[in-house]
Amino acid sequence: MKAGRELAVALVSGGMDSAVVAAMVCRDHEPAFLHLDYSQRAQERERRAFEAIADHYSVRRRLLARVDPLGAIGGSSLTDESLPLSRPGGPSSAIPATYVPFRNTHLLATAVSWAEVLGATRVYYGAVEEDSSGYPDCREAYVRAFNEVVRQGTRPETRLTVLAPLIHMRKGEIVSEGVRLGAPFHLTWSCYEGGETACGECDSCLLRLKGFREAGVADPISYRKTP
């Protein structure tokens, strides 16, 4: 660890938002990157993106872990391919079909366990409340509540905080911040589907394209279809 830099764990899915969070962590901390496989459709492609981002930043501490129950539980079109991926046009207040029930709690619990072992002081994840899919575990209230769980459920000497630095940013602002930080957007994968080319039609692709369009920046990855 470099002198004066505290260790921080970053959840890195391989997507656009997590790449910006990764850039922030590498700027401010000694990084440890965590990637979770929860039987999502794009797990192989996301893992490759994670490894590429970790290699880009020469991150030595990295962990790939499985969250097996989520795939078996199902209930989400991300983990059950018999369910159609959500498409735009549904009620704005509805939780999309791509919501994986209580997913971020499983992911953050793994991150907190690893962070406590490493002696890290921060866990970062790329939740976005203002301009995203409406997942309940991407809200500021959830982050506050989870930090109370961390405080109550870890060793008394553990001083660990979960942070979501993008939570009140719009997608265009996230892209602009990523450009400013030099985030490797060309290595990222945001599409809910796997494969070699992003679909350009799922909610995640549409939000990503919206962000690049609002920021006035060309998206460096290819799409099968663009709106």
More confident of the two residues 215 and 89: 215
Q: What is the pLDDT of residue 227?
A: 76
Give the position of tokens 């009620």: 91
Q: What is the pLDDT of residue 132?
A: 77
Each residue's pLDDT tens digit, 122-177: 999 999 998 777 899 999 999 999 999 999 999 999 999 999 999 999 999 999 99
Tell me the Ramachandran region of residue 151: left when phi exceeds 0, alpha when psi lies from -120 to 50, beta otherwise. alpha
Each residue's pLDDT tens digit, 90-114: 445 578 999 999 999 999 999 999 9
Q: Is residue 71 part of a domain?
A: yes
Q: What is the pLDDT of residue 111?
A: 98
Tell me the two tokens of residue 33.
């990157």
Q: Is residue 130 part of a domain?
A: yes
In which band, very low, low, confident or very high, does the pLDDT at 181 lie, cut at 50, 70 and 90? very high
Average confidence (pLDDT) over 5-13: 97
Does residue 29 carry a pLDDT above 70?
Answer: yes
Q: Is residue 198 part of a domain?
A: no
Does residue 89 carry a pLDDT above 90?
Answer: no
Q: What is the pLDDT of residue 131?
A: 79
Q: What is the pLDDT of residue 94?
A: 77
Q: Is residue 107 part of a domain?
A: yes
Q: Is residue 200 part of a domain?
A: no
Q: What is the pLDDT of residue 86?
A: 65
The C-alpha angle 203, 100, 93, rounded to 5 degrees, equals 55
Total of domains in the chain: 1
Q: What is the pLDDT of residue 85?
A: 86
State the amino acid at position 126 in one-letter form.
Answer: G
What is the Cα–Cα distance from 151 to 165, expressed in whole angstroms? 19
Give the CATH number for residue 96.
Answer: 3.40.50.620
Which domain does 60 fall in, by range? 7-189
Q: Is residue 100 part of a domain?
A: yes
What is the Cα–Cα distance from 185 to 147, expressed in whole angstroms? 29
Tell me the two tokens of residue 62.
């990295």
Q: Is residue 168 part of a domain?
A: yes
What is the Cα–Cα distance from 102 to 67, expressed in whole angstroms? 12
Q: What is the pLDDT of residue 130?
A: 85
Q: Is residue 203 part of a domain?
A: no
Each residue's pLDDT tens digit, 36-87: 999 999 999 999 999 999 999 999 999 999 999 999 999 999 999 999 986 5
What is the Cα–Cα distance from 189 to 42, expressed in whole angstroms? 9
Q: What is the pLDDT of residue 88?
A: 45
